[in-house]
Structure 1
């Protein structure tokens, strides 16, 4: 099935990229710590700061998908950031707590593996506060980078907007059926006919419009969009999907009473059992 979300680039390459970046930083921090220890004349094995750094990096990588998911689920926009900022602050506290508990557990296991005992001389309250003051900067750096990447991907991919009627147009009816969508892509604007939209998929605060092999994210909800499009042409087949009947080629029954819709471009769109009967009625009447 076709599914492209704004700002979502592939998870595995991203994790490998961040693993490489964080590993280099961990090795650099380890080297600095070892040099500081030698300069002070303290008794510290060279492998100990390496374990400290690697344990921290490991937990960060394991929890990064949670941060990315949160950014997609509650994106920050000009009209939402004030309302959602407290949510991100609370999330930073929870993320820091996971980070501290996870890396402490890994350090204890690593020390046991070499026949030693890991002892943190700092009290838990002081440790949590100290780590949070560092983690909050890391957390919001990841949030900022995720939103930046989301913006860059949308700019390259293109982003759709409902095409507004000119100011001197006659009064609009209570429900206005848009004839076009305005698509902005790489600084250029062009119109996409509503009838050319093959299907649509909900993705967080966006609905991806599929048009001639390209996905254009429209910032709206599926429920709001379905009230604006012509119900004789666009049919809701799933709570997250809507299809243009002109681009529907066949219906394949699936287990549990659901179905799979085969579209003209080869995509397979899910159809829920609840929507299947209504869809067949509409197609039969047409």
Structure 2
């Protein structure tokens, strides 16, 4: 076993870091904006109490923070990439509009509750005029959030290593069949190396990517699970679940379950799910009961 990479050491801390980043960013932003707005109020001698700017800014930050999971899901479902960002840009513009509407509705609700608890009332003003003003700010906030998420994912893929199919050369015949590749090109931290298809232990669908499991490392390949299944050698690989494909040479045993599903035990002690839909096919293709 090779020593764990930085990416592997980061995994136990990953969720804590990701959540902590957004919490700290929005709370710090809300606090800093509250201070600066309060300073502007005092400088211009406006008739507002000190708690009101605090409510305005923290309500905006809390509403935006609550929407982070939705943006993470949306960008996972419709990720922006260099080769197709123009096609998905209109969809993300609609996403920014929906995000802004939810953000404004959330912060107004928080402000009304805060004002009511202080014995006062909050008036947002004309909805259409004020929403237009808020959207001009929110579309930039949404864009910044999407770029941060996509940049972070790109960094993780570079640390983890990202696989791709070998493409046709500019001149001459392909080195090997593109429809049934025997090797995959992996890029990792500026280096490129080839991974033999036979070395892939199993594959798992992950959004718009399929993770190739090779010697305890995962390499995301931009593809659908059905798309990559059609390119793999059916004598070596078999679909066992809507999200999993396994290398038959890695299968040690199949554990049937009362539900009709099964667990596939691999030679390295990894256990993968096998749905009843694919169980018969696995047994017919050489799995061991």
TM-score (ref. length: structure 2) = 0.89
Task: Check whether the contact 2:181–2:232 (CA below 8 A) recurs between aligned residues.
Answer: yes
> Could you tell me which residue of structure 1 aligns to residue 17 of structure 2?
13
1:126-141 map, 5 Å: 126-141=129-144
Match of 2:146 among 137, 143, 146: 143
> Could you tell me which residue of structure 2 aligns to residue 178 of structure 1?
181
Measure how far apart 1:170 and its partner are: 7.6
In structure 2, list runs of 5 or more residues that go unmatched: 1-6
Q: Secondary structure at the match of 1:15?
A: helix
Moved over 6 A (4+): 170-173
Match of 1:159 among 157, 162, 168: 162
Measure how far apart 1:280 and its partner are: 1.1
Measure how far apart 1:171 and its partner are: 9.8
1:65-76 map, 5 Å: 65-76=69-80
2: CA distance, partners of 1:171 / 1:202? 27
Measure how far apart 1:180 and its partner are: 1.0
Measure how far apart 1:281 and its partner are: 1.5
Q: Could you say which structure has the greater relative contact order, defined with CA pairs below 8 angstroms and 6 or more residues apart?
A: 1
1: CA distance, partners of 2:20 / 2:202? 33
User: Which has the larger displacement, 124-133 or 16-25?
Assistant: 16-25
Q: Against the structure 1 CA distance between its residues 41 and 253, is the aligned structure 2 distance closer, same or farther, given a 3 Å change threshold?
A: same
> Could you tell me which residue of structure 1 aligns to residue 240 of structure 2?
237
> Could you tell me which residue of structure 2 aligns to residue 42 of structure 1?
46
In structure 1, list runs of 5 or more residues that go unmatched: none
User: Which has the larger displacement, 94-103 or 12-21?
Assistant: 12-21
The answer to whether the aligner puts 1:54 opposite 2:58 as a matched pair is yes
Match of 2:85 among 59, 78, 81: 81
User: Which has the larger displacement, 145-154 or 264-273?
Assistant: 264-273
CA deviation profile, 1:62-86 (whole Å, cap 9, x unmatched): 1111111111111112221111100
2: CA distance, partners of 1:219 / 1:118? 49
Q: Against the structure 1 CA distance between its residues 105 and 255, is the aligned structure 2 distance closer, same or farther, given a 3 Å change threshold?
A: farther
1: CA distance, partners of 2:102 / 2:18? 21
Match of 2:37 among 33, 37, 47: 33
